[in-house]
Amino acid sequence: MTVARELVVHRDKDLMAQAVAARLITRIVDAQTARGSASVVLTGGRNGNGVLAAVAASPARDAVDWGSLDLWWGDERFVPQDDPDRNHGQARAALLDAVPLDPDRVHPMPASDGPWGADAEAAAEAYAAELAAAPGPFDVLLLGVGPDTHVASLFPGLPGVRETERTVVAVHDAPKPPPTRVSLTLPTIRTAHEVWLLAAGEDKADAVATAFSEPGELRAPAAGAFGLSRTLWLVDVPAAAGLRPGG
């Protein structure tokens, strides 16, 4: 059963980043209080990195037991480890290098100069195996929403959106560079307790409106992203401009 979407509209992208950061810190602390650890899936892009930077700047970040947090990624650009396009590297710059994480609990996706070389399929299989060994579902899975409604690296019309069996796939010929990527699939995204979709800016307004028009996930992958217990759309006023009142 699909969990009903909740929509939260913030005045602008900066306030949105700060509010999402506060919400994320609270959710991590709540999970750690309940069972001693937490698990979060990060997203890249300007909104994902903006949230991480806001966490880094928040005095409340010290409430998190960073050593008891597992971090995963929803997708990655399949480029060399030191490429500036890597979501992992951008996350390190925004937050991860500033907090005392346990390196064994940080799970970046493979790079194209890693153990599997340029074989994106092997890299995806390796990440799937790592996921399979992880305990329990994710507490929060963050997703940026692209102007074309893509989430993670699941683009409209590409085979990855149709995947129903595999947890992680290689993506080729992505319409947004770089063309080769590794991504969680929609069935994997749906195993998270909570899925939070982030969209800010006028260039996201059509994507948000399309996803809320119930087009189906093949046309709009963002429409197929939801959590086991909660699905939150966290947007700013410009990104919400195409929504009808109450829609």
Question: What is the residue-level pLDDT of the chain in tens, covering all 247 positions?
Answer: 567 899 999 999 999 999 999 999 999 999 999 999 999 999 999 999 999 999 999 999 999 999 999 999 999 999 999 999 999 999 999 999 999 999 999 999 999 999 999 999 999 999 999 999 998 899 999 999 999 999 999 999 999 999 999 999 999 999 999 999 999 999 999 999 999 999 999 999 999 999 999 889 999 999 999 999 999 999 999 999 999 875 5
pLDDT of residue 2: 63
Range of the domain at 11: 5-236
Q: Is 50 exposed, middle or buried (0-12, 13-18, 19+ CB in 10 A)?
A: buried
Q: How many CB atoms are closer than 10 A to CB 23?
A: 17
d(CA 79, CA 114): 10
Is residue 245 assigned to a domain? no
pLDDT of residue 26: 98
d(CA 184, CA 134): 15
Q: What is the CATH number of the domain that holds 184?
A: 3.40.50.1360
Is residue 72 assigned to a domain? yes
Is residue 40 assigned to a domain? yes
All residues at 6 or more sequence positions from 223 whose CB lies less than 8 Å from its CB, including other chains: 149, 210, 211, 212, 214, 215, 216, 217
Q: In DSSP terms, which residues pair with 188 in a beta bridge?
A: none
Provide the edge-to-edge strand list for the sheet that holds 5-10.
Answer: 5-10, 230-236, 194-199, 140-144, 38-42, 69-73
The whole-model pTM stands at 0.97
Angle at CA of residue 55, ends 53 and 59, nearest 5°: 125
Is residue 246 assigned to a domain? no
Is residue 244 assigned to a domain? no
Is residue 75 assigned to a domain? yes
Residues 138/41, Cβ–Cβ less than 8 Å: yes
Compute φ and ψ for 51, nearest 5 degrees.
-65, -45
Is residue 241 assigned to a domain? no
Is residue 144 assigned to a domain? yes
Task: Look at the chain and report how many structural domains it folds into.
Answer: 1
Concatenated DSSP letters of the chain: -PPPEEEEEESSHHHHHHHHHHHHHHHHHHHHHHHS-EEEEE--HHHHHHHHHHHHH-GGGGGS-GGGEEEEESEEE-S-TT-TT-HHHHHHHHTGGGS---GGGB-PPPPTTSTTTT-HHHHHHHHHHHHHTS-S--SEEEEE--TTS-BTTB-TTSGGGG--S-SEEEE-S-SSSSS-EEEE-HHHHTTSSEEEEEE-SGGGHHHHHHHTT---TTT-GGGG---SSEEEEEEETTTTTTSPTT-
Q: How many CB atoms are closer than 10 A to CB 246?
A: 5
pLDDT of residue 59: 96
